[in-house]
Amino acid sequence: MVYKTVKKEAPGRGKVDILAETYEAGEPKGEDAGRWRQKLGSRDEILKYLKNGERYWYNDDWFGSEKRKNPA
């Protein structure tokens, strides 16, 4: 695969090649793009989804790779 590169100035090394954008530009397409509420079947599934999101942002109990030895 061929990637786009950009020439930039590097300290002490002169000009070097750096990778440019490697993603495909665009936005999600289709009728269901961004409609997460319709993808969840019942009210209980919606509440579970929202509570899980709140746990991620606001809770002190963390699991798995999210766990830290020293809280921030």
Each domain of the chain, given as residue ranges in start order, spans: 37-63
Map residue 59 onto helix, strand or coil: coil
Please name which of 33, 32, 24 lies closest in space to residue 3, comparing C-alpha atoms: 24
Torsional sign, CA 39, 41, 42, 44:
negative
pLDDT tens digits along 6-35? 999 999 999 999 999 888 778 877 777 777
- Write down the residue that tokens 């090394």 correspond to: 13
Tell me if 49 sits within 8 A of 40, measured CB to CB: yes
Tell me if 62 sits within 8 A of 71, measured CB to CB: no
pTM score: 0.39
Return mean pLDDT, the chain.
80
